Amino acid sequence: MNWFLLCRMLGLLGMLVGGSMVFSLPWAFPACGQTEVFEARGFWGIVAAIGCSLGIGAVLHWVGRKETASILRKEALAIVGLGWLLAGVLGSLPYLFAGTLRAAGEPMTVADALFESISGFTTTGASVLTELEDSTFVPRCVLFWRSFTHWLGGMGIIVLFVAILGRLGAGGKALMRREVPGPINEAVRPRVRETAVVMWIIYVALSGLLTIILAVEGLSLYDALCHAFGTLATGGFSTHNASIGHYQSELVEGTIILFMIFAGTNFSLFYLVLHRHDPRKRKSIWGRLAPLRRDPEYRAYLSILLVAAIVLTISLLWSGTYRSVQESIRHSTFTVVSIMTTTGFGTEDFQEWNEFSKGMLLLLMFVGGCAGSTGGGIKVVRVMLFVKIIWLEIEQAFRPNVVRPLKVFGTRVDNSLRHEVVVYFSLVLVIFVTSWMLLAAIEPDDHWVARGGESGENAATAADHSSEKLLDCASAVAATLNNIGPGLGVLGPHANYSGFSPQGKLLLTLLMLLGRLELFAILVLFVPAFWRLQ
């Protein structure tokens, strides 16, 4: 491991995170319209966080200032894994220095702040904050930083790093391959810096467009920006306790649905739509949309969303949850898109829905968006590949002499990608089950038993709440590992993670990082051989 190169890169990344905090400072002033008085606590807390971040980054960069070696595979993995950890630690400083309150009279602990910060950067949207609309709990400028971490992490802080820094050569390509999600990464092209810049331009343009539309629809500039950050990053942090349901506006919900679908799409397809090289199709909108129409993953992505929304609508009407077809379609569509794209915004408390509907939402959590999108989850293309692999294996059982190649996007898939998909599914299953059991073991039973009534409840009632604990822990692991945010049970869209123990929050924080970086960039950090000198 080239430690000096690692220090230099982490130092630059630390200074980038510290510098990005500057954009939160204006919202501490009354002129921005979000507070009646100057928020000195939040302002100076962020200023202190900026100073610490820049200082830590500068020291790390100074240590490795003379190192000019190229970034190799091992260094790329270390920079991405440790870079996200460093960003999470530095991003937690504004919460701590500003004295943010988790609840009335309860300041955020280090575990709380780290959870909130990494939840933001990984676009998970899980929160420990119980009161978002009272600036005495969370200063407006700190709440803006909370949403801004979504936006930085959505396209990827490493991709931004490559776009700004440049001159990394093959090292930049290695870094982006570690961070841009998906097994088939068409976004990483030979001119890696140009790719990073184009991806960020598309990302910024969509964010700006959504901000303008939301402002026209009646949201304040502050709310429009924060919800645009949460939507395009598929994060889900809101400035209101009731999330998008606060606005009670079908127009706002429809706009958010459309842009959540955009955010769950492979951003490489947007690039291809904007750069069609066939002059005969430049004037044809239908021709320009050919990359979207012909992409098998995108068609599967839209098909899953449509079918799930229809099934959920019928289920909610059948169970009597909604008597109006319009209301059922409205909330079903928003929830399906929000959950599958791993955004996590809410309009209704789906914890009150029937068990089949909740079960379907739990399955959608694992699917996620397209490869190369800002969405989390396993990714649609991996699900497609896995289904094809299973089908081929079943056929092989009764036709052992038939050799049928595995194809996706019209191209034959080699055995290495096939092996990667199977290993990835296996790792997700192992991590999910292990983390589920570990979380259930470390969380005290008293928290769940107390929900059932007085301490004198009988053994049967206590057992019922122990089973609720098991399901709640499974939901928490699924929601954080797939970067969803809200889950089922005590983690519904109108609840949060404040009730978990500090050790439980740290475990869930690790799961967020594993999900965002697709396992390997974090798992290698725990392998001793990875750190040995070459």
Task: Determine if residue 220 is left, alpha or beta; phi over 0 gives left, psi from -120 to 50 gives alpha, anything else beta.
Answer: beta
Task: Answer with the residue of higher pLDDT: 149 or 527.
Answer: 149
Two structure tokens written together for 417 = 């990608």
Looking at the predicted structure, is the pLDDT value of residue 156 above 60?
Answer: yes
What's the mean pLDDT in 56-82?
82
Which pLDDT score is estimated for 495?
Answer: 73
Number of H helices, E strands in the chain: 22, 4
Which pLDDT score is estimated for 283?
Answer: 57
Two structure tokens written together for 534 = 């070459």
Which pLDDT score is estimated for 35?
Answer: 67
Q: Which residues contact 248 (CB under 8 A, 6 or more apart)?
A: none
Percent of the chain at pLDDT > 90 equals 37
What's the mean pLDDT in 330-355?
89
What rounded mean pLDDT belongs to the chain?
83
Instruction: Read off the pLDDT band of 164 (50, 70, 90).
Output: low
What would the 3-class secondary structure string for 29-69 be? CHHHCCCCCCCHHHHHHHHHHHHHHHHHHHHHHHHCCCCCC
Which pLDDT score is estimated for 456?
Answer: 41
Which pLDDT score is estimated for 330?
Answer: 92
Q: What is the DSSP letter of 11?
A: H
Which pLDDT score is estimated for 377?
Answer: 85
Element spanning 273, H or E: helix 267-274
- SS3 call for 25: helix
Instruction: Read off the pLDDT band of 42 (50, 70, 90).
Output: very high
Looking at the predicted structure, is the pLDDT value of residue 468 above 90?
Answer: no
Q: Is the dihedral of CA 483, 485, 490, 492 positive or negative?
A: negative
Looking at the predicted structure, is the pLDDT value of residue 418 above 70?
Answer: yes
What's the mean pLDDT in 499-522?
89
Q: What is the DSSP letter of 218?
A: T
Which pLDDT score is estimated for 177?
Answer: 58
Residues comprising the chain, all counted: 534
What's the mean pLDDT in 309-316?
94
Which pLDDT score is estimated for 313?
Answer: 94
Looking at the predicted structure, is the pLDDT value of residue 167 above 60?
Answer: no
Write 303-310 long-range contacts (CB < 8 A, 24+): 304/340, 304/364, 304/367, 304/380, 305/261, 305/336, 305/337, 305/340, 308/336, 308/340, 308/360, 308/364, 309/333, 309/336, 309/337
Instruction: Read off the pLDDT band of 56 (50, 70, 90).
Output: very high
What's the mean pLDDT in 330-348?
91
What's the mean pLDDT in 212-229?
94
Contact 133, 163 (CB under 8 A): no
